[in-house]
């Protein structure tokens, strides 16, 4: 029997505890032995909690318990969570987390610390929620040279854009609806400014290319600058407007960024709507493959967390190596990324073509001109004297 402790009893932590109890027989069958919840660390008093008998307030109880082999971090952020994870790993306890900020900002340090102390630091649930993603990329596609990972990595922004495209709602109206439904926080900045997607694409880039990519080195553009006209132009052009996180290796140069994109209808990412996530991976031998599903939520995320716990228990002695090097160079951003670009402007079309060459113009929307350029870069477009209200890449 292996004992598991949970740090934090919020959405994810509570889901882990519930599934651990409800699906005990299934988990035991896959893990090869019984898993038992030893402690839940939370500073709040919750006497009516069905797991009240497991609650403690002092992490040292877990840290000093020789029978607790695996710690699930479900606190979030990089404050107490980082401190406790470091201490757990130093004590030789494997750690599983869904905390993308922790992994994106400190993953290289924590995987190395786990290796040093003969334990594991796993984080399947940190990207894509319940979608099996990191393990398949790291192991199942391990024989491939990865060329690109592009994904719809944030369900909140995808929901908002779906409402704008399909129902003609404004950004503000769609955001309020997302908050009402519980998809967006009252302070939605991490979602709508692209920060959440940025942390996730850093993790994917780290795994795919083996070099540490710091979030502060990645340009993250969210959806706050998108107008209903942009969604209408996308629809008129037979495309969908999506917020994409991208890590692309081209000619030995690594591009990592988050930005709104026009996605052609034939792309498998185009029909992904509502709160769903999807990640497209291009590899040397597998070709193009896509992972799809709910990217967040209590039970999907807890499911992925427990998948990592089962992996640790079922494979004793197998150590997760430090997955990426700390000496990663700063990635390039969208300014030098070659692609076709959508532009929205009130400049004369002839003037735009004089500056940018041939443009495939789309039907005008509310007094705006919108069109698709030839292959260029944002830097080249910015060097012109055109006044543009929007400039988004078109996914190739």
Catalytic annotation on 200? yes
Question: Integer distance in angstroms from the first to the last C-alpha of the chain?
Answer: 50
Q: Is 343 left (phi over 0), alpha (psi -120 to 50) or beta?
A: beta
Q: Cα separation of 99 and 197, whole Å?
A: 13
Choose among 237, 253, 277: nearest CA to 392.
Answer: 237
- Report the C-alpha gap between 222 and 63 in whole angstroms: 40
Contacts of 170 (CB under 8 A, 6+ apart): 164, 228
CA atoms within 13 A of residue 163's CA, in its CB half-sphere: 17
H helix runs in 120-265, sequence order: 134-135, 155-167, 171-180, 189-192, 195-209, 228-236
Backbone Cα Rg of the chain: 23
Sign (positive or negative) of CA dihedral 206, 210, 212, 213: negative
Tell me which of 200, 240, 242, 378 is the catalytic residue. 200
**Nearest Cα residue to 348 out of 367, 321, 375, 374:** 367
Residue 55 contacts residue 49 (beta carbons within 8 Å): yes
Nearest to 205 by CA among 251, 258, 242, 241: 258
Count of alpha carbons within 13 Å of 329, Cβ hemisphere only? 7
Which residues carry out catalysis?
200
């Amino acid at each position: 029997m292996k004992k598991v402790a949970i740090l934090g009893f919020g959405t994810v932590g509570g889901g882990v505890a519930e599934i651990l109890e409800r699906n005990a027989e299934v988990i035991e069958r896959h893990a090869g032995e019984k898993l038992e919840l030893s402690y839940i660390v939370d500073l709040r008093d919750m006497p009516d909690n069905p797991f009240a008998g497991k609650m403690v307030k002092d992490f040292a109880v877990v840290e000093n318990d020789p029978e607790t082999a695996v710690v699930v971090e479900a606190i979030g952020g990089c404050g107490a969570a980082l401190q406790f994870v470091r201490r757990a790993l130093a004590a030789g306890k494997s750690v599983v987390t869904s905390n993308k900020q922790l992994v994106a900002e400190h993953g290289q340090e924590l995987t190395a610390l786990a290796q040093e102390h003969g334990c594991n630091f796993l984080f399947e649930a940190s990207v894509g929620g319940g979608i099996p993603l990191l393990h398949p990329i790291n192991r199942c596609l391990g024989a491939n040279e990865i060329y690109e990972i592009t994904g719809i990595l944030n369900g909140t922004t995808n929901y908002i854009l779906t409402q704008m495209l399909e129902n003609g709602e404004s950004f503000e109206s769609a955001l309020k609806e997302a908050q009402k439904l519980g998809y967006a926080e009252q302070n939605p900045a991490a979602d709508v400014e692209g920060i959440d997607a940025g942390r996730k694409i850093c993790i994917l880039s780290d795994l795919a290319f083996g070099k540490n990519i710091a979030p502060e080195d990645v340009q993250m553009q969210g959806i706050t600058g998108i107008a209903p006209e942009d969604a209408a132009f996308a629809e008129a052009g037979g495309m969908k407007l999506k917020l994409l996180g991208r890590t692309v290796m081209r000619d030995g140069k690594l591009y990592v960024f988050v930005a709104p994109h026009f996605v052609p209808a034939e792309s498998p990412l185009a029909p992904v709507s509502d709160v769903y996530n999807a990640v497209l991976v291009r590899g040397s031998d597998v070709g193009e493959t896509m992972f799809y599903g709910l990217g967040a939520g209590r039970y999907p995320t807890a499911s992925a967390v427990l998948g990592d716990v089962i992996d640790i228990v079922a494979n004793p002695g197998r150590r997760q190596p430090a997955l990426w090097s700390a000496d990663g160079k700063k990635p390039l951003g969208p300014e030098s990324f070659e692609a076709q670009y959508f532009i929205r402007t009130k400049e004369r079309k002839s003037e735009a073509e004089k500056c940018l060459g041939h443009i495939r113009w789309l039907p005008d929307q509310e007094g705006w001109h919108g069109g698709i350029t030839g292959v260029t870069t944002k830097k080249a477009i910015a060097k012109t004297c055109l006044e543009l209200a929007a400039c988004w890449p078109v996914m190739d």
